[in-house]
Homo-oligomer: A and B are copies of this chain.
Amino acid sequence: MSEMQSTRRGRPGYDQQGILAVAVAAFNEHGYDATSIGMLAERLGLSKSAIYHHFGSKDQILDLALDAALSGLEAVVDDPLPASAVEASAVARLEHVLRGAVHVLIAQLPAVTLLLRVRGNTEVERRALTRRRAFDRRITALVSEAQAEGALRADMDASVVARLTFGMINSIVEWYRPGGREGADRLADDVVAIALDGLRRR
């Protein structure tokens, strides 16, 4: 049985997740506004009503895709370190979050790409931006905490540090291709090495 085949409803072809994946790829390729349900139907080889069977509207498809990316990133910040490190330092938790964010980005590359292009043109986009800002504030708070505990240099604004560090992570969507030379673990190592210890040899 192919991956594409619905296990949820028995309808041959696409289940909700399959349609979502094709829709996200189309939004990334053509832009959300320029992608119609008719275009998605054609790409999927389905009728428009078959799509509406799974989703109330194009907006709802976007909402679900952005929620998947945001939930993944939020889970990384919520996720405690292994039990042995429950009382881990802020810098250890920051490293854990940077690594986790690289993994989410690579595991959900199309949905995160879509999220990073959201400009707030619709209610769904504005809600996603609000969640992104809340995420950014949590990263900034973690950087502040790591500065206060003396682990990170304190001569930089914590929100600028959070933005530049996540700017580096987010830029991975611009060039990363699955199956490329570096996997997620290696890339997470590189990001942590640059952000925390820098490129200079000591």
Contact = CB atoms under 8 A, between A and B. Distances in A.
Q: How many copies does the complex hold?
A: 2
A152 B196 CA distance: 15
Contact of A153 (B167, B187, B201): B201
Interface in A89-109: 91
A193 B91 CA distance: 18
A138 interface: no
Given A156-B190, A161-B194, A91 B200 contact: yes
A166 interface: yes
Interface residues of A, number: 41
B190 A199 contact: no
A141 interface: no
A172 B167 contact: yes
Q: Give the one of A151, A152, A163 with max B CB within 10 A.
A: A163
Q: Which 10 A-B pairs have the closest CB atoms?
A: A167-B171, A198-B198, A197-B198, A168-B168, A152-B199, A153-B201, A196-B200, A167-B168, A196-B198, A164-B168
Interface of A: 31, 33-34, 91, 143, 146, 150-154, 156-157, 160-161, 163-172, 174-175, 181-182, 187, 190-191, 193-201
